[in-house]
Amino acid sequence: MFNSTSESPSVLKIAVTASFIAALAFSPLAIAEEQHDHGKASKEVTGEVVDMMCYVDHNATGDKHAACGTKCIKGGGPVGIVENGKAYLVVGEHKPINDALADSCGKTVTLKGKLAERGGIAMLENAEIVKK
């Protein structure tokens, strides 16, 4: 059953060697993907705080919409910031930042965070308020 002259140890050595080579070959790809996820660019945005539901639906901005937008943001609606016509969805560090921004709806603020974009949607994550 276990013959010392059999080819099994050689096959085992080849399999282990092949696995090791494959791991070495693919490890840079895994590291690159990890850095891509965590290497997001830091961005500072100065613009108007908006209630994203009404902004996207009917371009609601400014003082005329501030009271309604504040109510929607406090109610949990998505909050955003619009700078030079570009809208960013805004989130805090793995949680909504609505409470901190609700009373600034319709006003200009400066936020800083990590920029993420996918499918035409821009998001400022881990956002913090630089200037109200």
User: Kind and range of the H or E element at 30?
Assistant: helix 8-38
Give the number of residues written for the chain.
132
- HEC readout, 67-128: HHHHHHHHCCCCEEEEECCEEEEECCCCCCCHHHHHHHECCEEEEEEEEEEECCEEEEEEEE
User: pLDDT digit string (tens) for 34-70?
Assistant: 444 456 889 999 999 999 999 999 999 999 999 999 9
pLDDT tens digits, one per residue of 66-122: 999 999 999 999 999 999 999 999 999 888 899 999 999 999 999 999 999 999 999
pTM comes to 0.70
Report the amino acid identity of residue 81. I
